Amino acid sequence: MCCTWNECMDNSSGGLEQTQPEGLQKKYVKVGIGQMAAAGRETVLKTTGLGSCVGVILYDGKGAAGMIHIMLPEVHTAVHGCVNRWKYADPAVDDLVAHLIDKGCCPGNLKAKIAGGAHMLSVKVRSRLIRIGERNVRAVKHRLSSHGIPVIAEDTGGRNGRSILFNVETSQMIIKTGGGELQL
């Protein structure tokens, strides 16, 4: 059985902000930097402050989805010691895929929507090491490809920060920027 998630509102990363405005039936779950959340049909996942960071949404179109807010491309660049794996594209994508499969999603049904990866520095930088946004997007796409997960929609690059709202029930992603709103 694939993804009947009435019982599956799982906030395994801890510390997630959950709000439900008066009169609305949707639960809003805010995913911060280095956090992951998985949710069922009656939820809107949201993340804010995506500059060079990338917001990744995995969903099955049947009422199950997960979101991660990635800050850097590879965990091997981390300073040794206690590391939050979900700040890095490679382990974060792998962990979210595994988590959704553990919760009943069929791997072949998973799809991705991504946003972020902007170049936020005002100076023109040629160094690939400094262009973190581009590297984050590349790393996310590489990990998704290794799992056979297609990127259905994206809004990446540029110089604008973004926020994402993802309605799990409709699989609609709304991207907010200083210049307006985009629905994917």
Give catalytic status of residue 53 as yes or no. Answer: yes
Helices (H), 7-70: none
What CATH architecture does domain 25-183 belong to? Answer: 2-Layer Sandwich (3.30)
The pLDDT score that the predictor gives to residue 144 is: 98
Out of 3, 53, 82, 105, the active site residue is 53
Contact status, residue 38 vs residue 65, Cβ threshold 8 Å: yes
- Which position has the token pair 């199950």? 64
Low-confidence ranges of the chain (pLDDT < 70): 1-24, 77-82, 122-130
Beta strands in the chain (DSSP E): 17-19, 27-30, 36-40, 43-50, 54-59, 64-70, 111-116, 151-156, 162-167, 172-177, 180-183
State residue 26's pLDDT score: 79
pLDDT of residue 14: 45
Q: In this structure, what token pair is assigned to residue 138?
A: 């590349």
Q: What is the pTM of this model?
A: 0.82
